[in-house]
Structure 1
Amino acid sequence: MTQFETEMQDVKSELINMWDLVLLQLSKAKESMLNFDKDLAREVVLKEKRVNALEIKIDRDCENIFALYCPVAIDLRFLLAVLKINNNLERIGDIAEGIAKYIVDSPVKYNMEILEAAGVIKMFEDSISIFTDTRVAFEFENTLLARTIFSRDDILDEINKKADDNILKFIIKDPGVIKQSLYILSIIRKLERVGDQSKNIAEEIIFYVEAKVLKHQ
C-alpha cells in the first residue's frame, strides 16, 4: 500500500470513529431523556468538545492530502465527500448536545404519555437507525442503502408536522405541562434535523461512489 493509500484509509477510519462517537452521543441523549438522567446528559454535553476536535483534525488531514497529492477522480470525490460529511457529523453532535441540555435544564421528568403521543420515542429510534445506516453505507460504499435514507427521512418530517397538534391536546387538558411541552417540541425539531443531516450524508455517499450529484433535484 502506498503512502497516499495509507493516508486515505486513515482519513476513512477517522471519519468512521467520529461517526461512532456521534452515534453514541445520540444514543446517550435518548437514554438520558427516557430516564431523566441528568448526569448522563451532562456527559453528552462535555463530550461534544471531543466531537469538535475530531472535526478539526479530519479537516486538516484532508487539506494535507490535497496539498501533497492533488488527488483526482474517485479519490477527489472521496475527500470532498469526507469534508462535507465531517461537517454533517459535527452538526448532529451539536444536536445531541442540544437535546442533552434540555434534559439538564428541565425541572421535571418528561411525561411519558406526551413523549409517546408526540412520536418523540419513535422519532429518536428512527433517527438513530437512519444515522446508523448512513455509516454502514459509507463504510461499505452501499449506495442502495444510502438511497433508503430519503424516504425514511420523510417519516421524521411527518412526525414533526403533527407534533404541534398532538402536544396541544395535552396542554389544553393540563396547562401545567406547557413548559415541558416546549422542551419536547424543541427535541422534535432537533431530531427532524438529524434526518436532514443524514439525508445530506446519503447524497455525499452517492456522489463519492457513483459520481452523481443529487442536491437540488
Structure 2
Amino acid sequence: MTPLENEITALKKELISMWILVQSQLNKAKDAMLQFDKDLAREVLVKEKRVNSFELKIDRDCENIFALHCPVAIDLRFLLAALKINTNLERIGDIAASIAKYVVDSSVNFDLAAMESTSMIRMYEEAVNILIDTRTAFEKEDTVLARSIFKRDDVLDAINDNAAATVAEVIKGNIESMPEALYILSIIRKLERVGDQSKNIAEEIIFYVEAKILKHYQSSHSGTGDDEII
C-alpha cells in the first residue's frame, strides 16, 4: 500500500471508532431515560468530551492528508465526505448528551405509557438502527443501503410531525405530567435531527463511492419529485 492508502485506511478506522462511540452514547442515553438512571446519564455527559476529541483529531488528520498528498479522484471524495461525516457524527453525539441532560435535570421518571403513546420509544429505536446501518453502508461502501436511509427517515419525520398532538393528549390526560411530556416532545424533536444527520451521512457515502451529489433530497411523502443528482 502507498503512504496515502495507509493514511486513508487509518482515517476510515478512526471514523468507524467514532461512529461506534456515538452509537454507544445514543444507546446509553436511551437506557438512562428508560431506567431513569441519572448515573448512566452523567456517564454520557462525561464521554461527550471523547466525541469532541475524535472530531478534532479526524479534522486534523484530514487536513494533514490534504497538505501532504494532494489526493485526487475517489481519495479526494473520501476525504471531503469524511470531513462532513465527522461533523454529522459529532452533532449526533451532542444530541445524545442533550437527552442525557434531560434525565439528569428531570425530577420525575419518564412515564412508560406516555413514551409509548407518543411513539417516542419506537422512534428512538429506529433512529439508532438508522445510525447503525449508515455505518454498515460506510464500511461496505454499500450505496443501496445508504439510499434506503432516505425512506426510513420518513418514519422519524412522521412521528415528529404528529408529536405536538400526541404530547397534548398526554397532558390532557394528566395535567401534572406536563413537565415530563415537554421533555418527551423535546426528545422527539432531537431524534428527528438524528435522522437528518444520518441522511446527510448517507448522501456523503453516495458522493464518495459513486461521485454523485444528491442535493435537497425530496422525501417520498412530499410528492415533489425524485432526488436531484449531479
Scaled to the shorter chain, the TM-score interval is over 0.9
1:12 and 1:207 mapped to 2: Cα distance?
A: 16
Other structure's SS at 2:214 match: coil
Please identify which structure carries the higher helix content: 1
Give a deviation string over 1:81-131, Cα, whole Å, max 9, x none: 000000000000000000000000000000111100001100010000000
2:69 and 2:180 mapped to 1: Cα distance?
A: 53
Greater relative CO (CA pairs within 8 A, separation 6+): 1
The aligned amino acid for 1:210 is: E
In structure 1, what is the equivalent of residue 119 of structure 2? 119
Is 1:196 the counterpart of 2:188? The answer is: no
The aligned amino acid for 1:134 is: T
After superposing the two structures, state which structure 1 stretch, 161-170 or 54-63, moved more: 161-170
Superposition map of 1:50-61 within 5 A: 50-61=50-61
1:34 and 1:148 mapped to 2: Cα distance?
A: 28
1:139 and 1:4 mapped to 2: Cα distance?
A: 18
Is 1:43 the counterpart of 2:43? The answer is: yes
Give me the CA root mean square deviation.
0.6
1:172 and 1:117 mapped to 2: Cα distance?
A: 13
TM-score by length of 1: 0.99
Is 1:85 the counterpart of 2:99? The answer is: no
Superposition map of 1:122-141 within 5 A: 122-141=122-141
2:183 and 2:118 mapped to 1: Cα distance?
A: 12
Question: Offset of 1:2 from its aligned partner?
Answer: 1.6
In structure 2, what is the equivalent of residue 209 of structure 1? 209
Superposition map of 1:1-217 within 5 A: 1-216=1-216, 217=228
2:77 and 2:68 mapped to 1: Cα distance?
A: 16
2:173 and 2:138 mapped to 1: Cα distance?
A: 46
Question: Offset of 1:163 from its aligned partner?
Answer: 1.2
Question: Offset of 1:172 from its aligned partner?
Answer: 1.3
Question: Offset of 1:166 from its aligned partner?
Answer: 1.0
The aligned amino acid for 1:161 is: D
TM-score by length of 2: 0.93
C-alpha contact 2:124 2:191 (8 A) present in aligned 1: yes
The aligned amino acid for 1:51 is: V
The aligned amino acid for 2:137 is: A
Segments of 5+ residues of structure 1 without an aligned counterpart are none
The aligned amino acid for 1:10 is: A
The aligned amino acid for 1:31 is: D
Report runs of 4+ in structure 1 exceeding 2 Å deviation: none
Question: Offset of 1:192 from its aligned partner?
Answer: 0.4
Segments of 5+ residues of structure 2 without an aligned counterpart are 217-227
C-alpha contact 2:167 2:182 (8 A) present in aligned 1: no
Instruction: Give the number of aligned pairs.
Output: 217
The aligned amino acid for 2:36 is: F
% same residue: 65
Other structure's SS at 1:195 match: helix
Other structure's SS at 1:107 match: coil
Question: Offset of 1:213 from its aligned partner?
Answer: 0.3
Question: Offset of 1:173 from its aligned partner?
Answer: 2.0
1:125 and 1:89 mapped to 2: Cα distance?
A: 17
